[in-house]
A = this chain, B = another copy of it.
Amino acid sequence: MFSFELIAFDADDTLWHTERLYAETQKKFTQLLANYHDPKWINDRLYQIESRNIQHFGYGIKAFALSLIETAIELTEGKISSKDIQEIVNWAKNMLNSEIELLPYVSQIIPQLSSQYPLMIITKGDLLDQETKIKKSGLEKYFRHIEIVSQKTSESYEKLLKKYSVNPSRFMMIGNSLPSDVLPILNLGGGAVHIPYEITWAHETAEQPPHDHAGYYQLKNLGQLPPLLERIMQNKE
């Protein structure tokens, strides 16, 4: 009978809210610079600076804070006060200390699935921040493996699957990002479930694969996952 060797979940915006935190901070940032530029211009320039800085800083809140500071200096032509820059550093600390809010269905579905399948978390971002969130979530015990990675590419997933001796055809990844959680896995011949979050960071957008692409599924929420997994297992039997 067909069975999954490993079912892996993205964490940020798949198990708990995260992008909301960035969006709230970014709103405060546009208000901070409101005397200099309109929000659209600020957001566009921030996005360019963030994208350019990913090669240096990677993903996560510390990288975001450094890009906010750089953007603020550039867009005010150096007129931003250091009091305001300290405010940006404080936002970063608040983001890192904020409470975890699980997404709907997570607190029921994850324990339930963990009794049926080996589960894993594969998440990217700041190491300490991700570890802290996993601990705070109370979900750690349901996951057999936890991997925090600097990027999610076919290459990095392939390495992980080898490390755990998992056949891609018996692997399923669930996440909110097409370029990070779905496309690289389909590329390896694995299964991927896309559950879009209410906000998508521009950097994480991509064209959807065709709806009939082998192994590709789209769901509205995590509550729909157990029946989907059962259907897949029955069909492949």
**A-side interface residues toward B, CB under 8 Å?**
53, 56-59, 62-63, 65-66, 69-70, 72-73, 76, 78-83, 85-86, 89, 92-93, 96-97, 126-129, 131, 148-151
Contacts and interface: CB of A to CB of B under 8 A. Distances in A.
A93 B56 contact: yes
B96 A73 contact: no
Given A57-B96, A62-B57, A127-B58, A78 B70 contact: no
Q: Is the interface of A mostly helix, strand, loop or mixed?
A: helix
Given A127-B127, A127-B150, A76 B66 contact: no
A73 B82 contact: yes
A60 to B, nearest CB: 8
Nearest to A74: B86
A82 B76 contact: yes
B78 A82 contact: yes
B82 A66 contact: no
Contacts of A92: 56-57, 66
A88 B226 CA distance: 50
19 contacts: A56-B96, A57-B62, A57-B92, A58-B127, A62-B63, A62-B126, A65-B66, A66-B66, A66-B92, A69-B69, A70-B86, A70-B89, A73-B82, A73-B85, A78-B81, A78-B86, A126-B126, A128-B150, A131-B150
Given A126-B127, A127-B150, A85 B69 contact: yes
A80 B78 contact: no
A92 B69 CA distance: 13
A58 B126 CA distance: 9
Nearest to A85: B85
